[in-house]
Amino acid sequence: MSEQHLGAITVNQAGYPSSGEKLAKFTGETSRYQVIDAATGNVVFTGQTGIYVEDKPSGCRVHTGDFSALTLPGKYRIEGAAGERSAAFVIADKPYYELQQGLLKAFYYYRCGTQLDGDYAGAWGHKACHLAEGTVIGQPELKRDSSGGWHDAGDYGKYSGPGAKAVADLLLAWELYPAAFAGVHTLPESDGVMPDILLECRVELDWLFKMQETGSGGVYHKLTTQHFPGLDVMPEEDTAELYFSPVSATATGDFAGVMAMAARIYQPFDEAYAARCLEAARTAWSWLTAHPHVPGFTNPPGITTGEYGDEVDSDERFWAAAELFRTTGDEQFHGAARELAKLPFPKYSLGWGDMGGYGTLAYLLQGEAGTDPSLYAELREGLLAEAGRLLRQSREDGYRISLLEEDYIWGSNMLVMNNAMLLLIAEHVSGEPEYAACALDHLHYLLGRNVLGISYVSGFGEHSVMHPHHRPSVGDHVLDPVPGLVAGGPDRGLHDEYVREHLQGKPAAQCYADHEDSYSTNEVTIYWNSPAVFVTARFNC
């Protein structure tokens, strides 16, 4: 799609569950509408939109059309009284099955250091890349194996913290919704024993092992070239020297957290691998305890790739302690988690910079009987209060999501999916179905029920992202982009030259451009895909 579709009638272009609520969003005047069977052209439902909401983020008056009474599986469109037409959508028992597989398969396409080809890669294969050893900054004589893992985003950098966040989301999806991943064999490694999602996570975990400094247990912050390559450079053509940036406390805390989680989850499938993960987590924890006060990471001189700087590491330490406690039951980790929980950091955030929510979730999933009753109650109450706030904001929003006008930032779709993930965790903790319904509204937004009428997932939906800021999608000269990639979404700050030139004065939710040069609205990353996998899995159980 080369132009934005400011949607007069917008729907989830992936579809709606047969038995669930089905809403479309309309801009303009209140009017009657018809749902049309796409195969026969017959009218199968007629409705009237409700009163409008003055929706400030989108800059529109937004009406809702409710066609929940339509439950017959099929493919449909909606037509308005003035001839407006929605994108096509399906109604099915499990309309998000293929979407979930595509969101997960995207991680295969992000793989580094291996050739992607044959039936697994389709049109989007490429040769093995980034196989050279990397140089440790500050120790020019020290070279290390740097291959493997996932490229982080539209570039080819690899980052310990964001990688750990992505793996954590996927492992949690498996842990909470294992039925959603049954019977799927789409990877070269698929063996019918270990689920594909765990096979794919192992790709990144194996690389993370290489990021742990020999001897100290600290974890290098990132592995990149000095500068980003050109936008049309394929992975195998990016041959500049690779550098391990220095160890950071945030990377080490994230590493300890995700390795402790992996030790628990892989134990039934591969005891030796689980033991290796746990030993790596313990070694990283030893580094953290030996370095209680560490300055935040900043790019070393000469390195201009993404910094992922973070001045506060108490949230990552909390996650590490809580996860190690959950996996081992060791009171030393429990005591550390209780002490760290007293510090003033966000405890319900799931972003790469604020990882406290993962520590909270690890503690709550341990169960009340095995934890400090007062801390458990405090964290549970706080989680449900935050979920309640998101629920209230969503009910006031024209498109039924939890973003305020100021929340349309660089990577706003990460907030959309992280918030949906938090809502689903609240459902898991409380058993209240209203949280899941609200989370599903966030998925509807991502897949096209938004003011622009665009599905922010490449390859899914009639009007989906076509020109992501993603080097393989630009450099491979294939018409369609790599499928299953979640784009960043509207950014009211207009942080790149393309959107500054083309989107001045637009409302917050319209500050998006489906253009390869718009890195602030149309880049893709592993940690925008990962919460989308979690959310989609919930609705495929």
Inter-helix orientation angle 314-328/249-266, to 10°:
20
Q: The tokens of 40 are what? A: 């026969």
Picking from 44, 26, 25, 27, the residue whose alpha carbon sits closest to that of residue 35 is 44
Q: The tokens of 407 are what? A: 């929340």
Decide if 497 is catalytic.
no
Q: Is the pLDDT of residue 449 over 80?
A: yes
Which helix (H) or strand (E) element contains residue 323?
helix 314-328
Report residue 253: phi and psi, to 5°: -65, -45
DSSP at 4: -
Distance of alpha carbon 34 from alpha carbon 82, whole angstroms: 11
Q: Is the pLDDT of residue 231 over 90?
A: yes
Question: What's the rounded mean pLDDT across residues 526-540?
Answer: 98
- When pLDDT is cut at 50, 70 and 90, the band that residue 29 belongs to is confident
Distance of alpha carbon 183 from alpha carbon 166, whole angstroms: 22
Query: If you write DSSP's letter for every residue of 280-340 in order, what string do you get?
Result: HHHHHHHHHHH-SS-PPP-PPTT--S-----S--HHHHHHHHHHHHHHH--HHHHHHHHHH
Report residue 235: phi and psi, to 5°: -55, -45
User: pLDDT tens, 407-432?
Assistant: 999 999 999 999 999 999 999 999 99
pLDDT of residue 435: 98
Distance of alpha carbon 487 from alpha carbon 410, whole angstroms: 11
Question: What's the rounded mean pLDDT across residues 329-356?
Answer: 97
pLDDT of residue 6: 59
User: pLDDT tens, 310-329?
Assistant: 999 999 999 999 999 999 99
DSSP at 211: T
Decide if 514 is catalytic.
yes
Question: What's the rounded mean pLDDT across residues 373-378?
Answer: 97
Q: What angle do CA 264, 268, 271 make, to 5 degrees?
A: 80
Domain boundaries, the chain: 127-367
Question: What's the rounded mean pLDDT across residues 47-51?
Answer: 93
| Percent of residues, the chain, with pLDDT higher than 90 | 95
Decide if 270 is catalytic.
no
127-367 folds as Glycosyltransferase (1.50.10)
User: pLDDT tens, 75-96?
Assistant: 999 999 888 999 999 999 999 9
pLDDT of residue 169: 98
Question: What's the rounded mean pLDDT across residues 94-99?
Answer: 97
What are the E-state strand segments in 148-280? 158-159, 222-224, 243-244
Inter-helix orientation angle 526-538/97-109, to 10°:
160
Q: The tokens of 235 are what? A: 């992975």
**Which residues lie below 8 Å from residue 311, measured CB to CB, with a gap of 6+?**
296
Three-state secondary-structure class, residue 455: strand
User: pLDDT tens, 265-284?
Assistant: 999 999 999 999 999 999 99
Residue length, the chain? 541
| The 3-state secondary structure of 363-380, one letter per residue | HHHHCHHHCCHHHHHHHH
Distance of alpha carbon 221 from alpha carbon 138, whole angstroms: 14
pLDDT of residue 185: 82
**Which residues lie below 8 Å from residue 134, measured CB to CB, with a gap of 6+?**
143, 144, 145, 146, 223, 241, 242, 243, 244
Averaged confidence pLDDT in the chain = 96
Q: Which of 442, 469, 470, 515 is catalytic?
A: 469
Cross-strand partners of 124:
none
Q: Is the pLDDT of residue 339 over 80?
A: yes
Three-state secondary-structure class, residue 37: strand
Instruction: Count Cα neighbours of 165 within 13 Å in the Cβ-side half-sphere.
Output: 29
Q: Is the pLDDT of residue 382 over 60?
A: yes
Whole-number CA gyration radius for the chain = 23
State the pairing for strand pair 60-66/74-80: unpaired
215 to 287, 289, 527: CA distances (angstroms): 10, 15, 29
Query: If you write DSSP's letter for every residue of 56-117 in order, what string do you get?
Result: TTTTEEEEEEE-TT----EEEEEEETTS-BPPPEEEESSTTHHHHHHHHHHHHHTB-SS-B-
Report residue 92: phi and psi, to 5°: -155, 165
Q: Which of 55, 310, 491, 523 is catalytic?
A: 523
Distance of alpha carbon 332 from alpha carbon 330, whole angstroms: 6
Instruction: Count Cα neighbours of 314 within 13 Å in the Cβ-side half-sphere.
Output: 11
Q: Is the pLDDT of residue 52 over 60?
A: yes
Burial category of 539 from C-beta neighbours within 10 Å (exposed 0-12, middle 13-18, buried 19 and up)? buried
Would you say the pTM of this structure is higher than 0.95?
Answer: yes
pLDDT of residue 5: 44
Picking from 239, 220, 244, the residue whose alpha carbon sits closest to that of residue 139 is 244
Q: Which residues of 474-502 are buried (b: 16+ CB within 10 A; e: fewer)?
A: bbbeeeebbbbbbbbbbbbebebebbeee
Q: Which of 169, 491, 514, 516 is catalytic?
A: 514
